[in-house]
Amino acid sequence: MAGIAADIHIHSCFSMATSKDMVPERILKGCQTKGIAAIGTGDALHPTWRQMWEDVSNDSGIIILPTTEVEDENRVHHLIAAETPDSFAVMQESFTPFCSHLETAGRPHIRLKGEAIAKIVHEAGGFIGPAHAFTPWRSIYAAFSSLADCYGDEEVSFLELGLSADSRDGAGIEELAKIPFLTNSDAHSPVPEKLGRECTILDLQRMDVSSLLSAIREGRILMNIGFFPEEGKYNRTACTRCFHQYTLEEAVDLKWRCPDDKGRIKKGVSDRARELSGKNVTKRPPYIHILPLAEIIANRLGTCSPRTKKCTLLYDELIETFGDELSILLHLPTDEIRSVHPGVADAIAAFREGRVTLHPGGGGQYGTFSF
């Protein structure tokens, strides 16, 4: 069968700083609009959230994969997946002595090292890998220089690149040569510019959870889809207060303090990945850089937000006319898009052809783009 788009890292309404609309019904509706055929539940250690997914109607046939993100005692974040919610019920029981808020927080902080967490996950029949592996906050390569330093001898089934990275950032790291790279949204809201903003096109043998997990573990990835990494908040080395960007050499000379406001300089993803990379580069599936349709519309209409009424009306018209967002961004002939809005069609043609000017982000400030 053809490849399907999967986004397996999102969060629920029970996580911090998430929309109250992050409920199963809204998430599944957002998947249909976006063109996502497989979605991670997120926050599957939360018992009420697991039950909400059990109760939801899924007439669209979207694959629902139980997943969660946890933080370990070193503040490293891990993405966990399992075939059934029952596996997460087992994990919840095992993690309870090391976490006091499993029944209240969507993304829990577990007082265990990564290796111990991975062992519990594997004993429950689950799979684990680093979340947003290169970001300077709460990631494996912010805290460690190798997977073994974090996971010991436990198996790592995948690695999530994160919004500030693409496949190039991991392709030169020797220890990752056989580990599949995933691109996920880490969405905190079901709005179109968040849910599915990054996703992985996987080659599935059947439309079910078991086949989805097999495709991930076996690396049957047809392509990764995501931001230009320069759009991410941590792509470049920069001050966390004023966001002034520095070369790695400048940051070292300044002892990681901004001379302008004494803010902390954080190492960017591109610099960190370069530090870890060697001479041998592993061939990876194509990485297709996209811009969310809602952000393209806001750019073309000159509005300050993609959530304005004018932007929403045009977005809805495009979806109603052509189907789903990923099809519009990746496959639909621009002449057809032009029949609805010439400016949006021209912008989609520009990013497909690489005619986009990027203004990189860093230090916690998103990058921007122009045509």
The answer to whether residue 34 scores a pLDDT higher than 70 is yes
Of 175, 200, 228, which residue is a domain's last? 228
Flag whether 366 is in a domain. no
The yes-or-no verdict on residue 1 having pLDDT over 70 is no
Same domain (yes/no): 97, 86: yes
> Is there a domain that residue 74 lies in?
yes
Contact 349, 216 (CB under 8 A): no
How far is C-alpha 329 from the geometric centre of its chain's CA atoms?
18
The answer to whether residues 8 and 114 belong to one domain is yes
Examine residue 174 and state whether it is found in any structural domain, yes or no. Answer: yes
- Identify the pLDDT of residue 371: 87
Q: How many domains does one find in the chain?
A: 3
pLDDT at 273: 97
- Going by C-beta distance under 8 Å and a sequence separation of 6 or more, which residues neighbour residue 41? 10, 12, 24, 49, 50, 53, 64, 65, 66, 67, 68
pLDDT in tens, 233-286: 999 999 999 999 999 999 999 999 999 999 999 999 999 999 999 999 999 999
Using the predicted structure, report yes or no on whether residue 182 has a pLDDT greater than 90: yes
- Are 36 and 15 within one domain? yes
Residue 330: domain span: 292-360
| Residue 239 and residue 221 in one domain | no
Residues 143 and 217 in one domain: yes
- Give pLDDT tens digits for 289-326: 999 999 999 999 999 999 999 999 999 999 999 999 99
pLDDT in tens, 116-127: 999 999 999 999
Mean pLDDT calculated for residue range 2-21 = 96
Enumerate the H helices of 158-247 as residue ranges: 167-171, 209-217
Q: Residue 19: is its pLDDT beyond 60?
A: yes
The pTM (predicted TM-score) of the whole model is 0.96
Whether residue 158 is contained in a domain is answered as yes
Of 11, 25, 13, nearest in space to 67 by CA: 11
Asked whether residue 287 is assigned to any structural domain, the reply reads no
> Which pLDDT does position 302 carry in this prediction?
95
Q: What average pLDDT score do residues 77-84 get?
A: 98
For residue 367, being part of any structural domain is answered with no
pLDDT in tens, 88-105: 999 999 999 999 999 999
Of the residues 201, 228, 255, which one is the last residue of a structural domain?
228
Same domain, 196 and 248: no
**What local confidence, expressed as pLDDT, does residue 172 receive?**
97
Same structural domain, 115 and 205: yes
Residues 185 and 197 in one domain: yes
- Tokens 């693409």 correspond to 166
